[in-house]
Structure 1
Amino acid sequence: MRLVFAGTPEVALPSLQAIADSAHELVGVVTRPDAPAGRGRRLTPSPVAQLAEELGVPVLKPEHPRDPDFQEALRALEPDCCPVVAYGALLPQSALDLAPLGWVNLHFSCLPAWRGAAPVQHAIWAGDEVTGATTFRIVKEMDAGPAFGVMTERIRPTDTAGDLLARLADGGAGLLVATLDGLADGSIEARPQQPEGLSYAPKITVEDAQVDWTEPAVGVDRRIRACTPAPGAWTTYAGTRVKLGPVTLSSERLEPGALRVGKAEVLVGTATEAVRLGEVKAFGARQVAAADWARGLRLPPEGERFGE
């Protein structure tokens, strides 16, 4: 088949590479426009655009996929199907109609669970034991189109959103190519999503990522892992924001937010057991082990608190 791939961030790269290596003909790539990046805020092509250029594939960067010029350029590429991974823009029906076999999305959950922008983060935060990835045909309603295939992946107790998403991106690339193969030879059929198990995964904001020390330790742990690496879990110390890496549970008991500083560890109280901090990043400083952070501030063994 003639394929035009749509995607933007790094998580889409395994699928783009797998499609380029497949028996299908990759005739174009659609991605978001160049965006400011780095300390100099220089306009930088998306990861997908950079890989597409290395592959020698034409790249389209519309401000919005409803733009007539973009749709004309897409029509000229004559795609049979458009696979999509984390493109990041709403596709109008006029664009969806340009591919006879539709736009096939790879979504990182077992639909209909966790429809929306942050399925991996919400699966970790909710304490799910298993998640996965689903291929489906894009329709007007968000992540509601008929599904082609699914893969599952166990969520490990120490998984961050970044860890889990990396595994799903690699495994999902194979699922996406298998779906495209099935569409090409007519061996696969889309089936409507079942209503049971429907849930939504809206984007997680910086405000959502603030740790609530009055939650149980397991809730604190899940929130931090779900928000790692983005948007980054945080709390405040002495009125200044501090970013936190993943924690581990301890058997100690402390008041919520209370710090206990040892030579090699820093504990923080929650509604249940205390948690042991991993890495800490103060504003304007590099990320360091929690004990080094406490040592640098000369924190006393007891009496200090987070969240004040």
Structure 2
Amino acid sequence: MRVVFAGTPEPALPALEAVADSAHELVGVVTRPDAPAGRGRKLTASPVGARAEALGVPVLKPEHPRDPEFHAALRALEPDCCAVVAYGALLPQSALDIPPHGWVNLHFSVLPAWRGAAPVQHAIWAGDEVTGATTFRLVKELDAGPTYGLMTERIRPGDTAGDLLARLAEGGAGLLVATLDGIADGSLEEREQGTDGVTFAPKITVEDARVDWSEPAMGVDRRVRACTPAPGAWTTYDGERVKLGPLSPADGALPPGELLVGKNAVAVGTGSAAMRLGLVKAFGKKEMPAADWARGLRIEPGARFV
């Protein structure tokens, strides 16, 4: 089939590479417009856009996918099917109707669980033991289209959202190509999603990522891992924001948010057991082990995160 690939961030790259290496003809790529990045805020292509240009594939970067100019450019590529992985914008019906075989989305959950922008983060935060990836045909309703195939992946105890997403991106790339193969040869049938077990995964905001030290240790651990690497879990110390990496169990208990500085470790209290801090990044500083951060501040007994 003639395939157009739509995607934007780094987790979409394994799928882009898999489609490019498949028996299908990659005739174009759709991605979000170049955006300011780095200290100089220079306009920079998305990871998918940059890779597509390196592959020599035509790249479309519509300001909005409802733009008539985009529709005309997409029609000119004559795609049989469009594959989508984390594109980052809602596609109108007028765009969905262009390819004869529709738009096939690779979504990083086992649908109908965790429909929405942040399925991996919400699966970790909720304490799910298993998640996965699903291919489905895009429809107007959010992540509600009929499904083609799925894979499952166990969520490991120490997984961050970044760890889990990386594994799903690699495994999901093969699932996406297998789905395109099945559509092309007619061996794959759509299955309507059930209505039982529908859950939603809205984007996690910076405010969502603020640690609530009154939560039990398990809740603190899940929040931090779900928000790593983005948007980044955080708290405040002495009025300044401090970003936190994943934590680990510590001995004993402390009042919520209270810090206990040892020779080589820093413990913090939660609503249940104490936890040991991992990497810490103070405002304007480099990321460092918590013990180094604490030594630099000469934290006094009884000091706490808020």
Which residue of 1 is the match for residue 57 of structure 2?
Answer: 57
How much is the aligned-residue C-alpha RMSD, in angstroms? 0.5
Which residue of 1 is the match for residue 77 of structure 2?
Answer: 77
1:239 positional shift: 0.7
Per-residue CA deviations over 1:151-195 (Å, capped at 9, x if unaligned) read 000000000000000000000000000000000000001101111
Which residue of 2 is the match for residue 306 of structure 1?
Answer: 305
Q: What secondary structure sits across from 1:72 in the alignment? A: helix
1:249 positional shift: 1.4
Which amino acid in structure 2 is aligned with residue 147 of structure 1?
Answer: T
Which residue of 1 is the match for residue 36 of structure 2?
Answer: 36
1:236 correspondence with 2:236 = yes
For 1:287 and 1:122, the matched residues in 2 are separated by 25
For 1:113 and 1:222, the matched residues in 2 are separated by 18
Q: What secondary structure sits across from 2:263 in the alignment? A: coil
Q: What secondary structure sits across from 1:128 in the alignment? A: coil
1:298 positional shift: 1.0
1:13 correspondence with 2:29 = no
Which amino acid in structure 1 is aligned with residue 67 of structure 2?
Answer: D
Q: What secondary structure sits across from 1:230 in the alignment? A: coil
Per-residue CA deviations over 1:117-152 (Å, capped at 9, x if unaligned) read 000000000000000000000000000000000000
For 1:110 and 1:45, the matched residues in 2 are separated by 31
Q: What secondary structure sits across from 2:132 in the alignment? A: strand
Which residue of 1 is the match for residue 190 of structure 2?
Answer: 190
1:215 correspondence with 2:215 = yes
For 1:278 and 1:113, the matched residues in 2 are separated by 31
Q: Identity of counterpart residues, as a percentage?
A: 77
Count of paired positions: 306
Per-residue CA deviations over 1:28-78 (Å, capped at 9, x if unaligned) read 000000000001000000100111011110000000111111100100111
For 2:90 and 2:164, the matched residues in 1 are separated by 25
For 2:92 and 2:33, the matched residues in 1 are separated by 18
1:290 positional shift: 0.3
1:64-213 alignment to 2 at 5 Å?
64-213=64-213
Question: Unaligned stretches of 5+ in structure 1?
Answer: none
Following TM superposition, the consecutive aligned residue runs of length 4 or more in structure 1 with deviations greater than 3 angstroms are none
1:196 positional shift: 1.4
For 1:269 and 1:255, the matched residues in 2 are separated by 5
1:251 positional shift: 2.9
For 1:161 and 1:50, the matched residues in 2 are separated by 24
Q: What secondary structure sits across from 1:218 in the alignment? A: helix
For 1:303 and 1:94, the matched residues in 2 are separated by 61
1:197 positional shift: 1.1
1:235 positional shift: 0.3
Q: What secondary structure sits across from 1:75 in the alignment? A: helix
1:214 positional shift: 0.2
1:279 correspondence with 2:279 = yes
Q: What secondary structure sits across from 2:267 in the alignment? A: strand
For 1:138 and 1:209, the matched residues in 2 are separated by 30
User: Greater shift after overlay, 242-251 or 218-227?
Assistant: 242-251
For 1:48 and 1:255, the matched residues in 2 are separated by 46
Q: What secondary structure sits across from 2:83 in the alignment? A: strand
1:2 positional shift: 0.2
For 1:156 and 1:48, the matched residues in 2 are separated by 28
Which amino acid in structure 2 is aligned with residue 305 of structure 1?
Answer: R
Q: What secondary structure sits across from 1:113 in the alignment? A: coil
1:303 positional shift: 1.1
Q: What secondary structure sits across from 2:117 in the alignment? A: coil
Which residue of 2 is the match for residue 262 of structure 1?
Answer: 262
1:250 positional shift: 1.8
Which amino acid in structure 1 is aligned with residue 249 of structure 2?
Answer: L
For 1:195 and 1:147, the matched residues in 2 are separated by 13
For 1:184 and 1:242, the matched residues in 2 are separated by 51
